Structure 1
Amino acid sequence: MRSRPPATTSVTPATDDRPARSVRVWDLPRRLFHWLTVVLVAAAYVTQRLNWMQTHVRLGETLLALVLFRILWGCFGSETARFSRFVASPHKAVEHLRHLLRREPDVQVGHNAAGGWMVLLLLALLLVVTLTGLYDNNDIADEGPLSEIVPAKIANAIGSLHALGWDVLAGAVVLHVCAIAVYALAKGHNLVGPMLTGKKRLPASVRAPARGSLWLAALLMGVSGVVVALLAAYL
């Protein structure tokens, strides 16, 4: 009697032959945060250059509320927005970058290992810039109670950190845009389209990520706005 071949070599998964389907990988709150941040950062830069400081401050406060919301959404929101879902080890990020120029199908759901660290960097820089800017404004206008009790050296250091933060943030934004261009040209991956529509074509075997509640997103945005209002009054 002839022996049977191993089952693992005689069966091809049926999912391999199924056509790709459209999968919603980015939820509405995540996309709104992304594009509103782009607009607000650009507007804040322009108003600072034109010395429209009142408008600049209002933009900074709105931006801080968005950043606080994104941090909360990264803890309680949709699957692809959660930090626990996309923050990989530095080793995995480096391994991913080693194959940056390799052309291959895009089957990534959410941020890749390197992109996750870029998200953390941009959020950290936005948090530093907006918080230091909030205090810097209060110090100039003598609006916040801490403006009178913080030593001059610390106040000056906060102002310098705000200016430095803008420069570093600008560099990080340029790096981010360059990375998007490299992915498009070298790997053939369109990262902008899914951030606009929320959808990406993926193999049928890929599970669609779980989405968070829009009511929860609205609640977290409201909480973030209240926190910023309190900071603006008491920082």
Structure 2
Amino acid sequence: MHTIRVWDLPTRLFHWALVLCVIGLVITANVGGNWMTWHGRLGYVVLSLLLFRIAWGFVGGHWSRFSSFIYHPATLLAYLRGNGRPEHRAGHNPLGMLSVFALLAVLLLQVSTGLFADDEIAFTGPLVSLVSGDTVSQATRYHKSIGKLLLIALVALHVLAILFYKWFKKDNLVRPMVLGDKQVMAPLPSALDNTASRLLALVIWAVCGAAVYWIVGLGQTSWG
């Protein structure tokens, strides 16, 4: 067995921060009222995290890069037939690829429509003033119904997949996301996870946070 660093610290922090924020978003959306202020703030944090993950997918640790888990359809079919490769037990396997990209896309669409949503009760997105009333209505309808249900379904499917791999395939996917390391059968590369890479991640997230702050401010500027 070989012990390798699969998930670098920035990826792990992103993952668990996203988990907490999504839970917070669901709770605040259902409670409503004054909690919608926090719903909006958590949405901004999620948007900054998603922008960070997209950037980190190009410059992060080996297994966090998109290039390490973008698979050809033939590879996906082979995996479904039981013909997996050693690297599929390290980072994201072909099915994990579908899950990751689906979650990123749905989350990005959900927080993006939230910027233009207006429930006419407790929350108005910061960019409502930039679009037409029809666009606001469509964004609100998607954000409160389709997008919300789709996100909950994907999260539930993600959790079920983790339980399936743990119980039936004896592959604990949570432990490496907590500790970073994983034991694999083949000598595979470890993800770079040193002080320099962590500082780079911090800078990238700060830039993403600044970008979200600028985006949110666009609506306020238009009102002015």
Pairwise CA RMSD of aligned residues? 2.5
Q: Amino acid of the residue matched to residue 148 of structure 2?
A: W
Structure 2 vs 1, CA of residues 138 and 160 (structure 1 numbering), >3 Å: closer, same or farther?
Answer: closer
**Alpha-carbon shift at residue 208 of structure 1 (Å):** 2.3
1:226 is aligned to 2:224: no
Q: Deviations over 1:33-73 (max 9, x none)?
A: 11111111001100111101101101111111111100010
CA contact (8 A) 2:110 2:148 kept: yes
What is residue 50 of structure 1 aligned with on the other side? 31
Structure 2 vs 1, CA of residues 59 and 151 (structure 1 numbering), >3 Å: closer, same or farther?
Answer: same
1:186 is aligned to 2:165: no
Q: Amino acid of the residue matched to residue 110 of structure 2?
A: V
Q: Amino acid of the residue matched to residue 38 of structure 1?
A: V
Q: What percentage of aligned pairs have identical amino acids?
A: 37
CA contact (8 A) 1:61 1:228 kept: yes
Unpaired runs of 5+ residues, structure 2, are: 220-224
CA distance in structure 2 between the aligned counterparts of 1:89 and 1:106, rounded to whole angstroms: 14
What is residue 113 of structure 2 aligned with on the other side? 132
**Alpha-carbon shift at residue 138 of structure 1 (Å):** 10
1:21 is aligned to 2:2: yes
Q: How does 1:1-235 map to 2 (within 5 A)?
A: 20-51=1-32, 52-99=35-82, 108-136=89-117, 144=126, 147-163=128-144, 164-203=146-185, 205-211=187-193, 213-235=197-219
Between stretches 189-198 and 212-221, larger displacement belongs to 212-221
Unpaired runs of 5+ residues, structure 1, are: 1-19
Q: Deviations over 1:79-134 (max 9, x none)?
A: 1111111111233223323339x9x9997221111101211110011101111112
Q: How many residues align?
A: 213
Structure 2 vs 1, CA of residues 143 and 197 (structure 1 numbering), >3 Å: closer, same or farther?
Answer: closer
What TM-score do you get using the length of structure 2 for normalisation? 0.86
Off by >4 Å, runs of 4+ in structure 1: 104-107, 137-144
What is residue 222 of structure 2 aligned with on the other side? none
Q: Deviations over 1:154-183 (max 9, x none)?
A: 111111121211110100011111111111
What TM-score do you get using the length of structure 1 for normalisation? 0.82
Q: Deviations over 1:184-213 (max 9, x none)?
A: 121111111111100111236333234471
Q: Amino acid of the residue matched to residue 81 of structure 1?
A: S
Q: Amino acid of the residue matched to residue 156 of structure 2?
A: V
SS of alignment partner, residue 187 of structure 1: coil
